[in-house]
Amino acid sequence: MAEVIMSKKQHRVRCTDEKFLEAVYSSKTYAEIAQKTGQKVASTMARYSRVKKALSEAGITLPEMERKKPVRNINNIEEMVVIAQRLKERHSNM
């Protein structure tokens, strides 16, 4: 007898063009648009690209979106120097 595998049906969030464009004009990042429309960020990015292309052919430009960048902390150089010196001393004495 064959094994039956049941999968969850994916829930698709639908968003009107008006709601999507309103979110585009009032947002700076793809994540903000996704939050306002209830869609996934990847879906939002793909839709933004398609809409941008279609509207550019009609002479309308959309605002540029920024990607949410991770915060990197490089201000801890002194701390890293102390750690590196301590590790160097520990491993050179072995």
Q: In this predicted model, what pLDDT tens digit does every residue of 34-57 receive, in sequence order?
A: 999 999 999 999 999 999 999 999
d(CA 84, CA 79): 9
Inside any domain, residue 73: no
Neighbours of 17 (CB within 10 A): 9
Closest CA to 38 of 16, 7, 64: 16
When divided into structural domains, the chain yields a total of: 1
Inside any domain, residue 58: yes
Inside any domain, residue 25: yes
CA dihedral 49, 55, 60, 62 (to 10 degrees): -20
Tokens of 24: 């585009």
Average pLDDT over residues 82-86: 90
The SS3 assignment for 43 reads: helix
**pTM confidence score:** 0.61
Average pLDDT over residues 56-63: 93
Inside any domain, residue 55: yes
Q: Yes or no: say if 24 and 33 are a contact pair by the CB < 8 Å rule.
A: yes
Inside any domain, residue 23: yes
Provide the residue range defining the domain that includes 64.
14-68
